[in-house]
C-alpha cells in the first residue's frame, strides 16, 4: 500500500503548486455556479489538491483560492438565479434535477432564510441549488454573502486541513512504519464518517423545513 500511496502523492506533488491551486479554485467555482457539484463533488477536488501541500504558504494559498472560488461560484449561482432562474428551472437540466428538489430548496429558503444558506453548504444537492434559489427570491445579495461566506470558510478549512494532515502524516511516517498507509486511509475514513453523520443529522433536523410548503412571500432572515 505504501508504494501505491507514495506514487499517488508524488504525482499530485509533481503538479506545479500554482497550477494545482488554481485548478482547485476554479473547480469549486464551477461546482456551485453551473451545478457541476451535482455530478463531481467539490470536496474530492479540494482534498486531492490538499494532499500536495508541503508548506504553510501553500496551505494558505490553497485556502484562499478555494474560498474565493467558492464565493465566486455562489455569486455566479446567485446571478444566474436572479436573471435566468425560471428558465433554468424549466429547462431540461432543471427537469433532470427534479421539481421535488427545487420545491424543497424553495421551501427551505422561505422558512429559514439566511440559516438555510449557511446550512445548505453542507448538504448534498441543496448546496448547488440554494444560490440559484436565493437569486430567484427577494433576499439581497449582501445578506446572502453574510451567510454564505462563513459557511465557505468552515467548509474550505475542514477539507483542506484533512487532506494536508493525511498526506503530511503519511510522509512523516512512511519511512518508519510499514502501516503508514493505513494511517493515511484511516484519517480519511474517520473524516468521511464524521461528515456523513453531520450531513444526516442536519438533513433530518432540517427536513421539516424543506418538505412542508409555506405561503409565498418575502424571505425573512430570522437572525438578520
Percent over 70 (pLDDT), the chain: 88
Quick check: is 224 in a domain?
Answer: no
Give the 3-state secondary structure of residue 68.
helix
**For residue range 62-85, what is the model confidence (pLDDT) as tens digits?**
999 999 999 999 999 999 999 998
Quick check: is 58 in a domain?
Answer: yes
Q: Which residue has 465557505 as its cell numbers?
A: 152
Q: Can you give the pLDDT at residue 217?
A: 47
Residue 199 grid coordinates: 450531513
> What is the model's pTM?
0.85
Give the 3-state secondary structure of residue 17.
helix
Rounded average pLDDT over 87-111:
91
- Of 115, 158, 145, 160, give the one whose Cα is nearest residue 25: 160
Rounded average pLDDT over 129-150:
94
Q: How far apart are CA 146 and CA 208, in angstroms?
A: 24
Report the domain count for the chain: 1
Domain that holds residue 19: 2-210
Residue 213 confidence (pLDDT) above 70 = no
Quick check: is 105 in a domain?
Answer: yes
Quick check: is 93 in a domain?
Answer: yes
Amino acid at each position: 500500500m505504501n508504494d501505491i500511496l507514495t506514487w499517488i502523492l508524488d504525482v499530485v506533488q509533481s503538479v506545479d503548486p500554482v497550477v494545482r491551486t488554481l485548478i482547485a479554485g476554479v473547480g469549486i467555482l464551477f461546482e456551485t455556479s453551473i451545478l457541476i457539484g451535482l455530478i463531481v463533488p467539490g470536496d474530492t477536488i479540494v482534498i486531492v489538491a490538499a494532499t500536495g501541500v508541503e508548506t504553510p504558504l501553500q496551505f494558505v494559498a490553497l485556502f484562499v483560492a478555494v474560498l474565493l472560488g467558492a464565493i465566486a461560484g455562489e455569486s455566479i449561482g446567485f446571478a444566474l438565479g436572479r436573471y435566468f432562474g425560471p428558465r433554468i428551472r424549466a429547462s431540461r437540466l432543471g427537469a433532470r434535477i427534479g421539481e421535488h428538489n427545487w420545491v424543497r430548496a424553495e421551501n427551505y429558503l422561505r422558512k429559514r432564510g439566511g440559516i438555510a444558506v449557511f446550512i445548505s453548504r453542507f448538504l448534498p444537492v441543496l448546496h448547488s441549488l440554494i444560490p440559484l434559489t436565493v437569486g430567484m427570491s427577494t433576499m439581497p445579495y449582501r445578506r446572502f454573502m453574510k451567510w454564505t461566506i462563513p459557511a465557505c470558510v468552515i467548509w474550505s478549512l475542514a477539507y483542506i486541513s484533512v487532506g494536508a494532515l493525511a498526506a503530511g502524516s503519511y510522509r512523516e511516517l512512511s519511512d518508519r512504519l510499514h502501516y503508514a498507509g493505513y494511517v493515511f486511509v484511516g484519517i480519511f475514513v474517520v473524516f468521511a464518517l464524521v461528515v456523513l453523520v453531520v450531513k444526516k443529522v442536519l438533513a433530518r433536523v432540517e427536513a421539516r423545513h424543506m418538505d412542508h410548503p409555506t405561503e409565498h412571500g418575502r424571505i425573512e432572515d430570522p437572525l438578520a
